[in-house]
Amino acid sequence: MADLEEKMKRIQQIAQYLQTLEADHNALFSRLNEIPKATIAELLDDYKQVTQNFKPINLLRYEVLNQLQEERPPLSAQDVDFYRERIERKDTDYFHKYGVNVVEGLANHNKKDSFSLYRKQGKQLYFRLLYTLFYRRIESQKIHQTLQEIADNCAEELGLEKYKTHHVDFRGSTNMGTLNCWVALFPRHYASHRECHHLFITIEADALKAGLWSGEQNKSSFEGSVQRFQTYKTALEFLKRLKSDYYLWNQRQLQSKEKVAPVPAEVLQPALVEEPGVAYESTPYTQAEAQAELFLSDERFQELLEALHYKQNLILQGPPGVGKTFVAKRLAYTLLGQKDKSRIETIQFHQSYAYEDFLQGIRPDGGGNFYLRNGVFYDFCQRARQSTQPFVFIIDEINRGNLSRIFGEVFQLIESDKRGPENAITLTYSEERFFVPSNVYLIGTMNTADRSLALVDYALRRRFAFVELSPEFGTDFQQYLKNKKLSTEVIHKLVDKIKVINEVIHNDRQLGSGYLIGHSYFTNIQEPFQPWYNRVIKLEIAPLLREYWFDQPELAEEYIQFLLKD
């Protein structure tokens, strides 16, 4: 097993290397320009087949290799874009140098956009196109051998019988490159691991992930059936505990299929099933993009961002319709510098939400047994520990939950100066030492108009920075409506009416600024405008006003009719 651990560490080193190249364009192209000439010659020999068997992606790689071999100016992203554009435009004159097969293949290629899947990778485009120049066939063969050894060893240690294996290396299941490798073991009577519950181990740059996965539903077989580990030995011990579940869940799946009549094939729609361990896609995101999506001033958005940096815990409070959750996500994207869903988690508190949902608890597995299930915040913190980049946890309607019951003993750990392993405490159920990483940021939202909620206690106020969001019906909002093709007259009429209602609400001693009508009710404009506007008033604003003036129904109706009047 020690030999296998060493081989897995070697795979992790490759993953770390590829991770660096994916994240840093400069490192990627610097490494490309440093490939030895002998290696380039071997790669050119591999890709020379494109002159006989045309493939657009391989033609681009072949052209890149020729530039590297001929010692033209150092390869850059601009060069890759140039070659890609020549291929997309079917520039047969440019590629005539490679012979008639390439010219005919390019001219007759029917696919309109050969690079569309790669372009969706965003800033990882160049890595996805060129990773094969680093991850060569010989290295791939060695890794496949190691993955098969892992699969065989797992089966032996678990005592599995009548099983099949499937493994995927750094080429990924779609041959577009990935940053992990994985192996799956599944019952022999299934044609594919995608049809059943399978045991798997994924090798990532900084950890292993193992568990029981539903290939049909493309998710963990049950909550807690997938966890992260630092060693193969501990991952293997976890899989041993899942062995009975592996048989149980596959038996149940088989029985359920026998009870259900088969669906005619022509009725089924083709589905793309992702493999376990596939990373979320991410795209770059800047503060300027955030401010372009919001009606806040640049100075106000900067204040929110600085408050989040300073306290690491921020609560956005305000009346309904001011876009609290929308603002929270834009703050998160800006802090991360990209729209990366793998580093953002969003939940909503409610009166039934508990410590067992948030951190840890004992749950039934459906088979008469119980297991320790980690909660969403526990898992989130475990992910954050594996990185130095910021992670953002968003709690919608934070004041709807019983905070002492939900946070329990870790309430103190969310303070910015109580982060890190030196402040770890013992959890109630597992008795393990737990801490909140210093790269975790929390954003909560609070609806100040909800009468059913109790006042927030001082413990929460001390740990979070509180920021008030108000309705924004100013210049930016009006320009937004103008861009939606609304006339100036209609815009002024809408804004003036809402301002009148908000002034009445603000001056009402029983209500106040926490009950104002927000702008987001009027952002999802539909045509024709007037019927849509009337629906918004009748279905969204009117119930709110009737709740505000529940003891003065005639006053509520007066203001509703005022809003509906042409």
Pair of tokens at residue 519 = 């702008």
Give me the pLDDT at residue 113, please: 56
**Percentage of the chain surpassing pLDDT 70?**
89
User: pLDDT tier at 259 (50, 70, 90 boundaries)?
Assistant: very low
In sequence order, what are the beta bridge partners of 457? none
Residue 186 reports pLDDT greater than 70: yes
- pLDDT of res. 114: 61
Residue 271's pLDDT is 33
Q: Which residues contact 170 (CB under 8 A, 6 or more apart)?
A: 14, 15, 18, 131, 135, 140, 143, 177, 178, 179, 180, 181
Q: Region 45-65: what's the mean pLDDT? A: 86
188: number of Cβ within 10 Å: 10
pLDDT at residue 525 above 50?
Answer: yes
Confidence tier at 264 by pLDDT (50, 70, 90): very low
Residue-wise pLDDT tens digits, 113-152: 566 656 555 567 788 888 888 776 557 788 989 999 999 9
pLDDT at 137: 58
pLDDT at position 373:
84
Q: Taking 90 as the threshold, does the pLDDT of residue 50 lie above it?
A: no
- Per cent of the chain over pLDDT 90 is 47
- 137 alpha-carbon distance from chain centroid: 31
Report whether pLDDT(522) > 50.
Answer: yes
Residues 6 or more apart in contact with residue 102 via CB below 8 angstroms: 50, 51, 54, 59, 95
- pLDDT higher at 255 or 205: 205
Residues 24-37: pLDDT tens digits?
888 889 988 988 88
The structure tokens listed for 232 are 């193969």
DSSP assignment of 474-542 equals: SHHHHHHHHHTT--HHHHHHHHHHHHHHHHHHHH-TTS-GGGPPPGGGGSS--SSHHHHHHHHIIIIIH
pLDDT reading at 565 higher than 90: no
Domain residue spans of the chain = 35-134, 138-257, 284-468, 475-564
Q: What pLDDT score was predicted for residue 455? A: 53
Q: Give the mean pLDDT of 452-481.
A: 83
**Mean of the pLDDT values across residues 281-285?**
78
Q: What is the 3-state secondary structure (H, E, C) of 430-482?
A: CCCEECCCCCEEEEEEEECCCCCCCCCCHHHHHHCEEEECCCCCCHHHHHHHH
Average pLDDT over residues 168-181: 80
Average pLDDT, the chain: 86
What integer pLDDT is reported at residue 417 of this predicted model?
A: 92
Q: Is the pLDDT of residue 178 over 50?
A: yes
Query: Are the C-beta atoms of residues 127 and 161 closer than 8 Å to each other?
Result: no
* pLDDT tens profile 357-383: 999 888 776 667 777 888 999 999 988
**276 pLDDT above the threshold of 70:** no
Q: Give the pLDDT of residue 457.
A: 65
Q: What is the spatial distance between Cα 473 and Cα 500, in angstroms, rounded to a whole number?
A: 12
Q: How confident is the model at residue 189, as a pLDDT?
A: 86
Indicate whether 324 pLDDT > 90: yes
pLDDT at 11 over 70: yes
Query: Would you tell me how many other CB atoms lie within 10 Å of the CB of residue 232?
Result: 22
Residue 116, pLDDT score:
64
Shortest CA distance to 271 belongs to which of 197, 219, 193, 218? 218
Confidence (pLDDT) at 117: 57
Return the minimum-mean-pLDDT range out of 262-271, 322-331, 349-358.
262-271
Comparing 111 with 280, which gets the higher pLDDT?
Answer: 111
The pLDDT-based confidence of 278 (bands split at 50, 70, 90) is very low
Question: How sure is the predictor about 387, in pLDDT bands with cuts at 50, 70 and 90?
Answer: confident
Q: What is the pLDDT, as a whole number, of residue 347?
A: 96
Contacts of 413 (CB under 8 A, 6+ apart): 419, 423, 425, 434, 435, 436
What is the band of 181 on the pLDDT scale with cuts at 50, 70, 90?
A: very high
Quickly name the fold that domain 284-468 has: Rossmann fold (3.40.50)
pTM above 0.95, yes or no: no
Helix or strand (DSSP H, E) at 316? strand 313-318
Provide the pLDDT for residue 57.
Answer: 85
pLDDT for position 380: 93
Tokens (6 digits) for 493? 């009429």
pLDDT category, 469, cuts 50, 70, 90?
very high
Alpha-carbon distances of 162 from 165, 167, 187, 238, rounded to whole Å = 10, 17, 6, 21
Q: What is the mean pLDDT of residues 301-310?
A: 95
